[in-house]
Structure 1
Amino acid sequence: MPLPFLTADRTFEAASESALPYDDRDRWRRPYRPGPWRVGVAALVLMVASFVLFAAVLIALTGSSSSAGVVLGIGLAVIAGALRMLRVGVWVSPRGVRQVGLLVTRTVPWERVVAVRTVQQPVRWLGLPRTVQGQALVLTRGGRAAGDATALFTTHTLDFLDRPAAFDRAADAVEAWAAERGR
């Protein structure tokens, strides 16, 4: 018996519809699910954090409380980093498109968006300096930054690595938001 709330096996239309009648359309929402690589890396980081927190408890029981406090702070920082890594991605709302990074978040209002399109180009593999041929969803801004093109996400990120259909669905969703809100 399939459990549709645990898998991404539902159709794209069914996934975009909300089962909740009070779902707020004005909230920021991610037009795709985090990829298995992102979730797996975050799970491993949280596992490391559990070992660090366990070490903090052992240090508190056997050693000084100041050392335990430092290790506890490190463990909490690792947890905060893992949770932030799960938030990384592209978010849309009626106000604009938001690109959340590990340290920096950029928001572009729909009024400044000139075009959102998928292009074939060399892209960075997992954010590393190595580039491979792939696709990118590119946002072109107007206004003061006219002609400035920013890659929102690519086929070789943690969310879309080895998942070309998920990339296509996410790109179509962001392009639909841009077409609906931009004009």
Structure 2
Amino acid sequence: FDVGKMEEISSVLELVLESEKGKIINMTKLNNRSYQYPERDREIIAKLSDPNYEVKSHVFSKDAPVEDLFKYEVCQTIFRYQQEHKIPYEKFAEQIGLSFAEAMKVLKGKINDFYLGQLIFYFKKMAPEQELKLTPSICFHCHNKIKGKFYYIPHLFIESVKFPLCLGCATIKVKCKNCSRENIVVKDYELEKKTL
């Protein structure tokens, strides 16, 4: 040990203790070098961390259900269309036949509150002339050949959604960009119960 350095450290500690005028100093706080957020930042972090916070981006895991990814992408498509065409929120809600609060849930991508068929139905009510297309990828048939596992790849290509859509099952034909199979469907059997 270097005696000079020890004396220097000791004198610094004495000054710190003197400046605190008798308060007990937690030595772990002196040694803690992690950043301490200001109070205002901590409030913002707590607000953003709340699962019920209204405005939030969704992050999906690699093995997220294909339906959730479809639903989120349809919500984003609806939101983009509403923003690009500058449709007022009230008019948008009226146009798709929802209350203002429910329409805002669609725009905010609250996918757990809706079935896939409902979201596609709202999109077609809002923009009947538009065709709904989603991100292309390979289908589970091609994936099985490559990986030897049986599950859906999340980013399938919805070739087109023709209106009127069957609200009972919300059947959607999808096309794999790798093998061009068109016999894959996404079904939403619960939709009929919710809409009645």
Give me the TM-score of the superposition, normalised by structure 2: 0.24
**Structure richer in helix, relative to its length:** 2
Larger Rg over CA atoms? 2
Indicate the structure with greater strand content: 1
